A and B are shown apart, each in its own frame.
Chain A
Amino acid sequence: MTGARGLRRSSPMASFALLLCLVGVALAVPSVVVEGTVLLVTVAFAAVSGERPIGFFRRLRFVLLFALVLFVAQALSVHTGHAVVAAPVQITAGGLLAGARMALRFLVILSASALFVQTTDPDRLAQGLIRMGVPYRYGYLLILALRFVPFFQDELRSVREAQRVRGIEVSVRSPRRIVHAVRYTFVPVLVSGLHRVDSIAISMKGRCFGLHPKRTTSREAPQSGWSLVALGVGGLVIALAFAAARGRWI
């Protein structure tokens, strides 16, 4: 932990509570101003945790691209309010607003989740959850899920390289090509993932996982009392945001 800053220093449960707050508020309050503010707060947390905003968004470039697609799709398909552009396609103020809300909401959820994953040690998070009473089998599910993220990234890269070497073109320009792309890209990755799951299951059983109802925690875990407080505050913020939205305070 030496030299760690911001969320990297905080307890995993506090980070989890912050994630819940950011995502909860963005989902509860359908307001461009609130969603934009939450996004800025997320970037600020990233900055104080040692993430440079440019680098943070560069890693999220595909998310930004997808948010842009969502914005354009909404702007083109929602026709409420006065027309901003009439021809060749109709774009209305309501469509632009709906697009902005959806794109911002999407950005908040993905950027807050990315910040959480980048700044939280999953082992410590799992230990924290287990100390709060979550059965350790479920705590380890979280670790395994995160263990598989880089695995799938590596597998995907290798499969794409193998496609290039064998001259297999993969594109999504027609339904037939999409089926082709799924078969030639995701099926090998998925099959590989299933094999990996089998091997890891053997490895875990081979080290007595599940033999006893409890297991030793040999690393210092965050205090569950403070974790409960952090989660409680997070829940309260979300509840207030929902109440404010229903009562139209915002």
Chain B
Amino acid sequence: MPSNERFDVAISNLSVRYPDRDRDALEAFSETLAEGEVVAIAGPSGCGKTTLCRTLAGFVPSMIPAIVSGDVRLGGESIRGVAPEALATRVGLVQQDPDAQICTLSAWQEVAFGPENLCLPAAEVRARVERCLGELGIAHLRNRVTTTLSGGEKQRLAIASILAMQPRVLLFDEPTANLDPKGIQALFRTLADLVRVEERTLLIIEHRIDALLALGPRLVLLDRGKLVERYPARERIDYAEVGLRGAWSLPPAEATAGSPRIAVDRLSFGYAEPLWRDLSFSLREGEVLAVIGPNGGGKTSLLRLLAGLATPREGTIERAAGTRVGFVFQHPHHQIFERTVRREMELEHPRGTDAVDAELREARLEGLEGAAPLSLSFGEQRRLTVATTLARRPNLLLLDEPFIGQDRQNVLWMISRVRETIAGGGTAVLVTHDIPLADALADRLLYLDRGTHLLGVPDEVFGRLRELGETAFTPEAWS
């Protein structure tokens, strides 16, 4: 919606403090987003990125209580005291978890929901819905029940439903979190068009700056609520030096392949129809297998089968005697049961207070022993579930998207723990969409898609993927 008036977002001296917290989530933050600009916000977990987005969209303090000072102006007009529903045609927020923002039961109705609330004529609502479904490449899903969509499809639907409001500023909270590499590329092509053709302003929170390069964003780094650095668009950044994810250069693992740990023979799995057939592989002690592939390709299902939580349609899975399975689920809150962090750890260490203290220190959770685990941030909950899983000393470690929402430091901590496990004779199977990380960490790769699977050392699998034209799943697409 280009206009003759400039629609800059001017943030001046913005501070936000949540009740019962001893420091500001955002402290004296000032920045101006010019109309049509793409700005990426990065920084460690808990640095205030999500708070910034929620404040710009008016949810803080209107729906999420907090003390807010400073000012935010949209096109020169202050948003102080403006309700979020009155801001929604100017600022649209796509939240991190798409499943948590879908409020209707059909894809078409979900996109129509916002325009209908605006009391637009029915014909205009229908036109907007069809246009947005088409722009996100999900027109074929229009009659699908929302609860049956895959994570990536839900993500695109959530974005389409915000685009249908035609806001001039779009805020994205980790849009790549649930998308496969191809989905990420397609999303950013769409966003690039929105910026180029319609001069929308984009503010994107992202840990994976490598995924954003195609948009050429200006980068703003936050730490503990404060702005610490700005980088102009298209400036080359040393990811490791500034603490961002990307450009992984890991030392070689110390483990060597030992005895067989698990053997999968002619495995088939699926629901109404098989996702894949005749999958066979075996893993030895000291090996790391990374599983990559499109959304809905059966990666999580494979982990559930390896853990014994699901039954294959056909084929067998044999685990070596003495195998202890540790499974880190994609959503940490499913694995949290106790009232405090300490008690959660003590579920695994019934008598070992010292061991619990040591584990919490390593997971950078010291000082949070008495906190309710479900009140922790996503990153802290994830570290807690990794710590509780590893406390069982598993020798078959299964990790489902462990790096989502994690900053570089947390990723490196997890990698060190995975490597400790395999150095002690364990085996790890890791599902991830972070291709450069999979390349750096895994001994072997398994690419899983409906009806297709490729298995081998990373170079071999990437070579086959290039031949198949699936370049989004190769490391060079992210450098």
| Partner-B contacts on A (CB < 8 A) | 121-123, 140, 143-144, 146-147, 150-151, 155, 158-159, 161-168, 183-184, 187-188, 191-192, 195-196, 199-212, 214-219
Contacts and interface: CB of A to CB of B under 8 A. Distances in A.
B5 to A, nearest CB: 22
B152 interface: no
Given A162-B334, A165-B307, A211-B86, A218 B347 contact: no
**Would you call the interface of chain A mostly helix, strand, loop, or mixed?**
helix
A203 B165 CA distance: 12
B126 interface: yes
Contact of A144 (B99, B103, B106): B103
B272 interface: no
Given A183-B337, A218-B112, A122 B103 contact: no
B114 A207 contact: yes
B352 to A, nearest CB: 16
A203 B100 CA distance: 8
B403 interface: no
7 contacts: A151-B147, A166-B335, A166-B347, A202-B63, A206-B59, A206-B85, A215-B116
Contact of A214 (B119, B162, B165, B307): B119
B309 A161 contact: yes
B84 A162 contact: no
B337 A150 contact: no
Contacts of A121: 105-106
B104 A123 contact: yes
Interface residues of B, number: 62
Contacts of B114: 207-208
Interface in B160-216: 161-162, 165
Residue of A196, A208, A214, A217 with highest tally of chain B CB at under 10 A = A208
A196 B100 contact: yes
B161 A207 contact: yes
Interface stretch (B259-267, B325-333, B430-438, B452-460): B325-333
Interface stretch (B28-36, B87-95, B233-241, B246-254): B87-95
B102 interface: yes
B347 A168 contact: yes
A123 B111 CA distance: 13
A210 B85 CA distance: 8
Interface string B96-125: 010111111110110011111111111001
A207 B334 contact: no
Given A205-B63, A206-B93, A217 B122 contact: yes
A209 B85 contact: yes
A205 B101 CA distance: 11
Interface in B317-357: 325-327, 329, 331, 333-337, 347-348
Interface of B: 54, 57, 59, 63, 83-86, 88-89, 92-93, 95, 97, 99-106, 108-109, 112-122, 125-126, 129, 146-147, 158, 161-162, 165, 304, 307, 309, 325-327, 329, 331, 333-337, 347-348, 374, 388, 392
A212 B122 contact: no
- Closest 5 interchain pairs by CB? A207-B114, A203-B101, A199-B100, A218-B125, A208-B117
Given A155-B334, A158-B334, 12 more contacts: A123-B109, A165-B325, A166-B335, A188-B336, A199-B97, A200-B100, A202-B101, A208-B85, A211-B86, A212-B119, A216-B122, A218-B115
A159 B336 CA distance: 9
Contacts of A216: 115-116, 118-122, 125
B105 A147 contact: yes
B109 A219 contact: yes
Contacts of A201: 63
B147 A147 contact: yes
A214 B162 CA distance: 20
Contacts of B122: 216-218
Contact of B374 (A184, A191, A200, A206): A191
A235 to B, nearest CB: 28
A19 B422 CA distance: 59
Nearest to A191: B374
A209 B109 CA distance: 14
B388 A166 contact: yes
Residue of B63, B113, B325 with highest tally of chain A CB at under 10 A = B113
Contacts of B102: 147, 200, 203
Contacts of A188: 333-334, 336-337, 374
B96 to A, nearest CB: 9
Contacts of A199: 95, 97, 100-101
Residue of B109, B114, B126, B336 with highest tally of chain A CB at under 10 A = B109
B388 A205 contact: no
B117 A211 contact: yes
Nearest to A180: B337
A244 B57 CA distance: 59
Contacts of A155: 334
A143 B105 contact: yes
A191 B388 contact: no
B313 to A, nearest CB: 19
A147 B85 contact: no
A162 B374 contact: no
Contacts of A159: 334
B302 to A, nearest CB: 14
